[in-house]
Chain A
Amino acid sequence: MGRRGRWRLFAGAGAAAALFLSACARQGATVQGEEIHRLYGIIQGLAAFVFVLVEALLIWSIIRFRKRDEAPPPQVFGSNRALVGFFAFGAVIVAVLFPFGEQTLSHVQRQEPPLVNLRVEAFQWEWTAYYLNEGIFTTGRTLKQPMVMELPVDEPAHIMLVSRDVMHEFFVPDFLFMRNAIPGHPNTFTFTPNKIGTYQAQCAEYCGLWHSRMTFVVKVVSPTDYAAWVKDKTLHAIGGNCSPNGASVHLTAKNTTWSTNCIAIPAGQRLSLTVTNLDDGVDHNFGIWPSIQDAIAKKGQLYQTGRFPGVATRSFDVTATTTLKPGRYYFQCDVHGVAMAGAFIVK
């Protein structure tokens, strides 16, 4: 192979690698994601230039300067001028790159007046999204059913992201976006989905045992479909119906799910409650509320146990139930909210 042939080979290999990588970068299914995709392309161009330059010089040196005779090579110790040049090269690249990055960042961080206002809660190992304007929520069942959240296309969605326990991360690959859910530090961000579709998403910050199963689905739908979904989801009491079977109840929490979604006790009796927490190292508790709305608003709690980590079993003598009138109430683990809840019936 001649010299020119070699150069073509290097250039071709570099171009192929660049194409290979760019083909894999997602386009972005939000207005912000498209901006990030553009930034990816710009960095790609600069990176390909540096990569091809350095690797070509390296391979050229390897081929051209192989030792062929015993004559000593020139002893060159380098010069200050060359050094200045080396520093200047990198400085120019940074000077070009940094403004592009900042420009994209300012677009991505821009907050628009949102149509959809969400509070998204992350916990081990599930998601719950509360639609604050519509008064609905959506959640999943850990290890069984991922949360499915719908968003209307072309409308800015504003998310307040909180964590109920450890660090998590809201990551939708097709939106080219992730943000941490941090205990005690709510994060807010806005994005505008602009392509109808179903997008797989999941927690990206390692959060313990079932991190890999903490997935969710974002469905971007037309405004009419969104309205239908909201109607369908409109807040309703959780759980079915069940009959009392004495005044002693044994509940088991496993993988952030209760063993039942309905508890019934006879009116006017104390409840002998046993809670077994099988989730190693994860806190749970048991709380009774007048209704799910009250639980979300955190007002009027009727009873709560202390929270305790698994694996452990605790028993409680609940006297608060003696004064409850017959009717439907609501129970949940206050650590995990509506994702771990059911109907509490007094008959």
Chain B
Amino acid sequence: MAVTEARPKPIAPEPYRRRVLEWLTTTDHKKIGILYLVNSFSFFVIAGVMALLMRSELAQPGTQFLSARAYNQVFTEHGTLMIFLFIFPTLAGFGNYFVPLQIGALDMAFPRVNALSFWLLPVGGLTIVSGFVAKGGAAAGGWTSFAPLSEQLGTGEDLWIAGLLLVGAASILGAINFIVTILRMRAPGMSMMRMPIFCWSTLATSLLVVLATPVITAGLIMLFADRHLGTTFFSAAKGGSPLYWQHVFWFFGHPEVYMLILAAWGIVSEILPVFSGKPLFGYRGVVLAFLLITALSFSVWAHHMFATGAVELPFFSITTEMISIPTGVLFFIWLATLWKGKLRFEVPMLFALGFVAMFLIGGIDGVWMAAPAMDFAIHDTYWVVAHFHYVLFGGTVFGIMAGIYYWFPKITGRMLSRRLGLWHFWLQLVGFNLTFFPMHMLGLQGMPRRIADYAPDRGWNTMNLLSTIGAFVIGLSMLIFAVNVILTLRKPRTAPADPWSGNTLEWATTSPPPPHNFDRLPVIGSARPVYDARLAGTVAEGDGT
């Protein structure tokens, strides 16, 4: 018997299709912020798996998992993706979500430009990764892509250039948007010197992007022209010089390092006061340090080129050592903020403390290399790999994780599990040190970076094996993190507006915030409006609405 009952036609479009369309076309800074985070963590998984592949290959001498050809592609893509598609866009994603909330704005200054600057990212990232299916494989010139080697490489290098041009355009557009938003969209009472420190760090980052990223854009176009249009910018045989590429690259590349860490400093400088119950010790000092570092970062680039023997050594040595002064100030301010506080060891606080402890090591490592004579002994060895991972993983990734645990309830309305968070933190801390501390020793023992293999008689076997074991411990910690996120997202939205007793405006609205961000803003009379309101009793602590 046929069923003849007519189905009523749906009045609204399919909810699923509508939701997808909404995400694809959104100009809401919060949705775009979430897109940034999802995109970034997707690339984090890809680049993280590449790291495990490399460590597996290096665990023992000999070729086991990756041929030299594959290894060279993998380390190039690992660095490129981690820097340009994970770390930087994650910080930009936090910026997108929280800068408007923290300054009491409705949205970013240019919402459509904001959407554009996000959507260029996955396109650029996939362009870079697509090298793996191109003839000759993916780019294999390292993330630094030094000429003239980069002029020899195949199609993968062109895709790498094209992808980075897109990612660079995205970050320049995003930075302009941040600068205008921060300068023009602040709520009444939110003066520059009352602005949350994370906004200051985003402003400093954006200034760096606007000043430095066009330089690498020009460099990439010159490289492309050398490869295909017969120009000779970087070709010594025809009147150019490979050193020009290094100057262009590092003039961008060193400010880039600060683009990758400033916002993490900002996050940590938000979290330490909240969980110490004290204000930041020396808000002006942090702002001053940020601005000094931003300015100085343009005068240190050639410390990456000491071993070329073709740069003014004392000048770049002293500027590099000088930049450690404001960086040191940050450490003292963080310590003074903790001093005599009432410390609550929630997961975000643990990651922030881990950041301070680990980034310190990365910073100190750098001081060795700032002395050119010392640099001659350890440059281009695993010491450098240890150094920048202590800065970018021990520093930035710990800062990013602090930010994720801190802001997850605000973004999703759900609290991440503390139990799993503790497992994540301790495994990440142990795994990180096990992976990267031995690299100091490998560097001192003369193991160069970027080698696919090494002879068994060089005395590098034990440290490499330890490092590989550590890498898999990090992998395990990230699995626990993923489980935590997935399990939490299946729970109901029960997070209160202000679960941590925060200081800044994002905690004055619901979790998650409504599309228009605020139903009403508290009075902004200091750098801690939510603290003030809590003290005055106008916001009930732990209020869920």
Minimal beta-carbon separation of B62 from chain A (angstroms):
12
B277 lies within 8 A of A72 (CB): yes
Count of interface residues, chain A, beta-carbon cutoff 8 Å: 90
Complex: how many Å from CA A341 to CA B291?
58
Tell me if B180 counts as interface (CB < 8 A to partner A). no
> B341 at the A/B interface (Cβ < 8 Å)?
yes
Given contact pairs A61-B335, A89-B332, A165-B148, A94 touches B325 in the complex (Cβ within 8 A): yes
Task: Report whether A212 and B152 are in contact in the complex, using a CB–CB cutoff of 8 Å.
Answer: no
Which one of B80-88, B112-120, B448-456 is at the interface?
B448-456
Known A176-B377, A200-B458; contact A67-B343, beta-carbon cutoff 8 A: yes
With the chains together, A97 CA to B281 CA distance in Å?
28
**B373 — which chain A residues lie within 8 A by C-beta?**
35-36, 39, 101, 104-105, 107-108
Q: Are B376 and A89 in contact (CB under 8 A)?
A: no
Q: A183 contacts which of B236, B448, B451 (Cβ < 8 Å)? A: B236
Q: Are A55 and B357 in contact (CB under 8 A)?
A: yes
Whether A102 contacts B317 in the complex (CB less than 8 A), given A97-B367, A206-B450, comes out as: yes
Q: B452 to A212, Cβ gap below 8 A? A: yes
Interface 9-residue window, one of B24-32, B166-174, B201-209, B304-312 = B304-312
With the chains together, A83 CA to B309 CA distance in Å?
38
For the complex, give the distance between the alpha carbons of A173 and B376 in Å: 10
B318, B339, B353, B449: most-surrounded residue (chain A CB, <10 A) = B339
B153 at interface, CB cutoff 8 A: yes
A281 touches B276 (CB 8 A): no
Q: Check B68 for interface membership: any CB of A closer than 8 A.
A: yes
Least Cβ–Cβ distance between A184 and chain B, in angstroms = 2
Say whether B276 contacts A182, CB under 8 Å.
Answer: no
Q: Is A229 on the interface with B (CB-CB < 8 A)?
A: no
What is the total number of residues of chain B having a CB less than 8 Å from a CB of chain A? 90
Any B CB within 8 A of the CB of A210: yes
Please determine whether B72 and A76 come into contact, CB atoms closer than 8 angstroms: no
Which residues of A lie under 8 Å from residue B450 when comparing CB positions? Answer: 206, 211-212
Q: Check A108 against B376 for contact (C-beta < 8 Å).
A: yes
Asked if residues B332 and A178 are in contact (CB atoms below 8 Å), the reply is: no
Q: Within the assembled complex, what's the spacing in Å between the Cα atoms of A93 and B310?
A: 27
Q: Which of B152, B280, B332, B342 contacts A67 (CB 8 A)?
A: B342
- Interface-side segment among A21-29, A295-303, A326-334: A21-29
Known A165-B148, A183-B236: A204·B285 in contact at CB below 8 Å = no
Residues of A within 8 A of B152 (CB): 166, 208, 281-282, 309
A: residues with CB less than 8 A from B are 20-21, 24-26, 33, 35-36, 39-40, 43, 46-47, 50-51, 54-55, 57-58, 61-62, 65-69, 71-79, 82-83, 85-87, 89-91, 93-94, 97-98, 100-102, 104-105, 107-108, 165-167, 169, 171, 173-174, 176-180, 182-185, 187, 189, 200, 202-213, 215, 280-282, 309
A-B pairs with lowest CB-CB distance, top 10: A173-B446, A184-B236, A101-B371, A78-B282, A90-B325, A212-B451, A176-B377, A67-B342, A90-B328, A183-B236
Q: 9 interchain pairs (CB within 8 A)?
A: A50-B328, A61-B335, A65-B343, A86-B285, A97-B367, A105-B314, A167-B146, A200-B455, A204-B449
